[in-house]
Chain A
Amino acid sequence: MSRLIASTALVGIAIAIVEIRRLGVGKELFVSSLRTFVQLMAVGYVIKFVFDLEKLPYQMLLLLAMVTVASFTARGRVKNVRGAFGIAFASILAGVACTVGLMLALRIMDTTPMYVIPLGGMMIGNSMNAVALGLDRVSSEMKDKRGQIEAALCLGACPAAAMDALMKRTVKASLLPLMNNMKVIGLVHLPGAMTGMMLAGAEPMEAAKIQLIVMYMLAASTTISILVASFFMRRAFFNKAWQLLA
């Protein structure tokens, strides 16, 4: 507890500096720090509660709630993608469900809450970011590339074929943060799980192995999520007569 109290000095110094320099973000930094405290403490109690329950259905319910919140966030301010929430929900859920299922089947992960909740949360967070990037990208490209898509339709292309080039660019852009992260992991930064394990006293090699599993897990869940999202996004802009919606 004393370390936690001491750590507030770090953010206190940061707030003091921005206030002295009159950068205008002191209040926001203070509120954000407070929110971080409240949210992490609250989620700590919630997870403790779920850990104590130890039953898989409860863990799944918690994951489902997390997917719902992530889907609202991923939808963001995207206005012109019909059914954006549904696309985000289905794709994040598919990514997490497939990966968790595979990890349980291959016995990479136990069904204990200690594994399912934190790893599931990591997958949901990464899938959410990829899907949010995808929705944002497809939303802006649809405004610029509408003419090209109609030109493809006029040649007899189905919606999926007309959107093919755009969707390839979208999937690539959505996976870019993950790819970059994987390229520089261990070289530029030590990832969270590995750092956390070492701080908790784990052997560095053991921490590295767990981190490797985490990265492969994230690669799988994020890729599945964005592929499922792209499948639905291809169809979100058209009616049954292969006409672009207004």
Chain B
Amino acid sequence: MKVFRLEGVELIKSSTTIFKSLDLSISSGGITTLLGPSGSGKTSLLRLLNRLDEPNAGNIYYNDQPIVSFDIQTLRREVGMVFQRQELFEGTVKDNILFGPGLHGMAVDPREILDLVGLDPDASGRDVTTLSGGQAQKVIIGRAVAVGPKVLLLDEPTANLDPTSTLQIEELVKHLSRELGLTCVFVTHNVEQARRVGDSAFVLIEGQVVEEGTMGDILAHPRDSRTLRFAKGELR
């Protein structure tokens, strides 16, 4: 079962072609990593998957139905997203956790969500400005999970974190995928992180999928010469 399928997707932003004719299928369940150097189109791809942006041409399918056939609110509730930049709303941790459930009339206990993401349930009254980077990212993930998504798109969620917090977030994503049955799409430009986190991976270079499979297979038998150069840090 494919959760997302892209066929001949073209995306042009500010006169720059991001994707010319992108074909890609992401399986349901587990963690799929999107790996690639800066500017390869990883973030642009995620933004297409919950319709923050629209492709110029081509088709995107969600659960085998055209993505445009879904009610936009339903789609975004099912396909959550965590951004690279930590975008917390003003107020307390609880305000952030309950923002989504409040929109959809859902009864959610913020303490349970905090416990789920590995934060102290008593932190729900804390002002978000007092949180560390790692705590803030956990609140953001908790906020996304609170509306009960089926898919979670994570755009370099550890980009601004220290090594300890990075490992904690990686473990949290694996935990959520396992416990909640969440399909996670995890964007990174770090090969080691992709190896640690992902069940499967896509390598995206210059808007094209150049590799697909497990990280072990990709690194052992790369199809594109640029893959190893990227893995060695020669492509950034």
Contacts and interface: CB of A to CB of B under 8 A. Distances in A.
A binds B: yes
Given A153-B76, A156-B76, A243 B54 contact: yes
Contacts of A156: 73-74, 76-77, 100, 103-104, 147
A148 interface: yes
Contacts of A244: 52
Contact of A158 (B51, B73, B89, B144): B73
What is the interface residue range for chain B against chain A? Answer: 20 to 34
Contacts of B52: 150, 153-154, 243-244
Given A154-B144, A155-B80, A156-B103, A147 B85 contact: yes
A182 interface: no
A153 B72 CA distance: 10
Interface of B: 14, 50-54, 72-74, 76-77, 80-81, 83, 85, 87-90, 99-100, 103-104, 140, 143-144, 147
13 contacts: A148-B87, A154-B50, A154-B52, A154-B76, A155-B77, A156-B73, A156-B74, A156-B76, A156-B103, A165-B89, A165-B90, A241-B51, A243-B53
A161 interface: yes
Q: Which of A155, A241, A242 has the most CB of B within 10 A?
A: A155
A38 interface: no
Given A156-B100, A243-B54, 9 more contacts: A147-B83, A148-B87, A150-B52, A153-B52, A154-B50, A154-B80, A156-B103, A165-B90, A242-B72
Contacts, number: 59
A151 interface: yes
Nearest to A154: B81
Nearest to B78: A156
Nearest to A246: B14
Nearest to A239: B54
Interface of A: 147-148, 150-158, 161, 165, 241-244, 246
A246 B16 CA distance: 14
Contacts of B54: 241, 243
Nearest to A240: B72
Contacts of B88: 148
A155 B144 contact: yes
A155 B143 contact: yes
Contacts of A147: 83, 85, 87
B157 to A, nearest CB: 13
Contacts of B147: 155-156
Nearest 4 CB-CB pairings of A with B: A155-B100, A156-B77, A151-B87, A154-B81
Contacts of B51: 241, 243
A152 B144 contact: no
Contacts of A148: 87-89
Contact of B83 (A150, A158, A161, A246): A150
B151 to A, nearest CB: 11
B164 to A, nearest CB: 25
A246 B103 CA distance: 25
A152 B104 CA distance: 12
B203 to A, nearest CB: 25
Contacts of A157: 99-100, 103
Nearest to B79: A154
